[in-house]
Structure 1
């Protein structure tokens, strides 16, 4: 009884092992092929649970999602023989599993190695047919679309790969050309800066000259106005003095004499040489004039 149970367990284990090796699952993100001693017997197995014969059949699975090939920057010549350095990338996926396996053995690195030179050659041809302006801005979208259509036919037939998109990340000038362009741009900017400075100096001189002219005009007008006001004041003062003098000429003469005496004899060190009968001493000699 014991030996029969043990044999049954062994049989069940063998059946389970054979069953597990006979079934396989293909995910929705995968493509698979079935090989019989290295020969393809089923080229495109759909997603789901499938059966195979252990040892006799081998299953190879590949990623069916969109892949990215980031190419190294390459140097191309435009129509006018100007060199540019182009950095691009490619979006691709498996279109024909059988062709893909036969061309690359299912290795993504091999697929990238085979795809990269074809893309570079296509870009070189497209850039060689266009000018610098067209590849930089004018016709870049048209260039990429045309290249994608041409290469897609080739890669599907030769590699079983569908090219979804080819894009240029950036276009640069070679280092030696970039330096020359930079120097030319620097020289041009310096020339423009000198022109702006010269125009600024010319404008500043004009503003200063106009300001100086306005200053002189304002000073002249102010001086003229001040002289006019002074003249009016002097005239008013003279008229006031004259009017006051006309009211009492004798008193006015006496007051002016006293002021003259005070100003003259204010300092003891002053010396005056006058004749005794000078009019300066009239109010000192004749007391009647002081009344």
Structure 2
């Protein structure tokens, strides 16, 4: 390669190096500051393509999206002096880039640790003003709202970040307390179960009594209707019988006598002592069947 070609190659490399150190890009989801020989000259660079002085300016880029600070579980005491183990997390993002850089040196881990420490102090104060029931269920949402509001103001003034939300992932009791709490909960559930059973038995007795009453009423009505039908049937049968008797009284008397004979002499060993002149043998004495 000739000297001119080598010189051209060197100049091209210098131009590329200078260009690479002159232009820089800040994305929409990023925040950035510009340092000139270590001094802050642009505390909040807008997204887009920008120019800086090569080798003199240095660009520090930070994540401008919502970040998560996942704190380690901590022990807190309620107003009743009962210990709780609370596991929480926070959502935050950079709001004041200059303040954030000065407070943390642009290191996310530093901001995360400082924010977690302040949230732990805030949780300790909020839990210390409430009872166990209020922390666990009664005022849990209000506790988080109050803590988020206070932490947003403090974090903005100290770290330049905005706390968007703080949430509790889990609340546990120490092992020495859990057993007694679970026993009390089991006793409460057993009490409720007994009350439900007693209420069920009471309702069952009411239903059973009502069913028995309805059964008695139905049977009485059915018996009444049956007696009415039976009486009506007997009356009709008597009327038909009387009408038939009036049509031929002699034949009716003869048939009745035959039925009486059949019932009286049903068995060959039957013995009857009757006066031969009795009306019972009237049709037997007359071969023509006349009285």
Shift of residue 118 of structure 1? 0.4
Name the counterpart of 2:191: 188
Contact 1:24–1:52 (CA under 8 A) maintained in structure 2: no
In structure 1, C-alpha distance between the alignment counterparts of 2:15 and 2:243, rounded to whole Å: 145
Contact 2:148–2:166 (CA under 8 A) maintained in structure 1: no
Q: Per the alignment, do residues 152 and 257 of structure 1 end up closer, same or farther by CA in structure 2, a change over 3 Å counting?
A: closer
Name the counterpart of 1:49: 50
Superposition map of 1:113-262 within 5 A? 113-131=113-131, 132-133=133-134, 136=137, 140-141=141-142, 143-159=143-159, 161-169=160-168, 172=171, 174=173, 176=178, 179-180=182-183, 182-218=185-221, 220-222=223-225, 224-225=227-228, 228-229=231-232, 232-233=235-236, 235-236=238-239, 239-240=242-243, 243-244=246-247, 248=249, 252-261=252-261
Contact 1:148–1:163 (CA under 8 A) maintained in structure 2: no
Q: Per the alignment, do residues 123 and 265 of structure 1 end up closer, same or farther by CA in structure 2, a change over 3 Å counting?
A: closer
Q: Per the alignment, do residues 181 and 83 of structure 1 end up closer, same or farther by CA in structure 2, a change over 3 Å counting?
A: farther
Name the counterpart of 1:34: 35
Shift of residue 119 of structure 1? 0.7
Q: Per the alignment, do residues 171 and 9 of structure 1 end up closer, same or farther by CA in structure 2, a change over 3 Å counting?
A: closer
Shift of residue 116 of structure 1? 0.4
Aligned Cα root-mean-square deviation (Å): 3.7
Contact 2:44–2:98 (CA under 8 A) maintained in structure 1: no
Q: TM-score, normalised by structure 1?
A: 0.75
Instruction: List runs of 5+ in structure 2 lacking aligned partners.
Output: none
Name the counterpart of 1:16: 16
Contact 2:95–2:161 (CA under 8 A) maintained in structure 1: yes
Superposition map of 1:59-98 within 5 A? 59-81=59-81, 84=84, 86-98=86-98
Report SS of the residue matched to 2:54. coil
Aligned residues: 283
Instruction: List runs of 5+ in structure 1 lacking aligned partners.
Output: none
Q: Per the alignment, do residues 33 and 234 of structure 1 end up closer, same or farther by CA in structure 2, a change over 3 Å counting?
A: same
Contact 2:34–2:45 (CA under 8 A) maintained in structure 1: no
Report SS of the residue matched to 1:290. coil
Q: Per the alignment, do residues 243 and 105 of structure 1 end up closer, same or farther by CA in structure 2, a change over 3 Å counting?
A: same
Shift of residue 162 of structure 1? 1.9
Shift of residue 165 of structure 1? 1.9
